[in-house]
Amino acid sequence: MSDVLRIGDRFGDYSVRALLGVGGSAEVYLAEDAVREELVALKVAVAGDDEVRRRFRNEIVIAGGLRHPNIAPIYGHGEWEAMLWLAYPYFPGGCAGELVARPSGGIEIARVLRVLAGVADALDYLHGLELVHLDVKPTNMLVGEGDSGVLTDFGIARGWTGPRSRAPVGVGSLPYAAPEVLAGAAPTPAADQYSLACSAIEFLTGHPPFPLPSRRAVLTAHLRSAPPDVSWRRPWIPHAVDSILAKSLAKRPEARYASCAEPIRLITRALRDADPPRLRPNR
């Protein structure tokens, strides 16, 4: 357990019940909100450097202005003993990263597709507001009501200012980063679609597109290598899914689909009659 907060700690209107997750710069707790009389997720920045604080404040500003059923709303935020915090709804379904295919190949395919559909809808809403997320990955998705995906973590989200912008761009997690962002170009909604496709590959096969041994190798693959055939990794996946993902992972952003929802809808249709391995029960 972290030393930042402990079970039973109270501050403001919140009482800590459990530690839900730990990241490089933040921890997320299950807490009881005395005002709302419900359980919430409490995110606390544990690293104090300027970049972490900038990202945390950016998340508060951007996510605080969004209203969509597949985006976690911010209930409150503030600073406590020099630590920034924010509260958002608690989703009992947990982190969507837990749905990534197991080494055995077992997967809850219907749940995965519902999560991807929800996140795709959230991204298209975001893009309609001329914003891009830039850190789309399974661990930044939650499982909401009816297994619908919920998008979280807007720390490096920013305005979509067009291809000629010279504004600095934050690069999210390398295994999911679009080649144009890695090359220093201003991001467009197509960058989020690329990251969503990388996430879909990880959900379906257990690994992102380029599971290589070094960061340099992964970066080079994003820039130069053809996307993998997921039907080769998992024979139960029809070849049609390879073609759909290849378009979403095109090196040129303009060659990708016009929305995030379209490729997920096509993948869902292609997998309608698929028969993946079932998950083995825990012993």
Active site residues: 135
3-state secondary structure of 68: coil
Q: Which residues contact 176 (CB under 8 A, 6 or more apart)?
A: 135, 136, 137, 194, 195, 198, 199, 208
Q: What is the C-alpha to C-alpha distance for residues 230 and 213, in angstroms, rounded to an integer?
A: 19
Q: Is 43 annotated as a binding residue?
A: yes
List % helix, strand, coil for the chain (3-state, nearest 5). 35, 20, 45
Q: Amino acid letter at 166? A: R
Contact 209, 117 (CB under 8 A): no
Q: What is the C-alpha to C-alpha distance for residues 65 and 237, in angstroms, rounded to an integer?
A: 39
Contact 257, 248 (CB under 8 A): yes
Q: Are strands 14-22 and 10-11 parallel, antiparallel or unpaired?
A: antiparallel
Contact 24, 43 (CB under 8 A): no
Annotated binding site for ATP: 43
Annotated binding site: 43
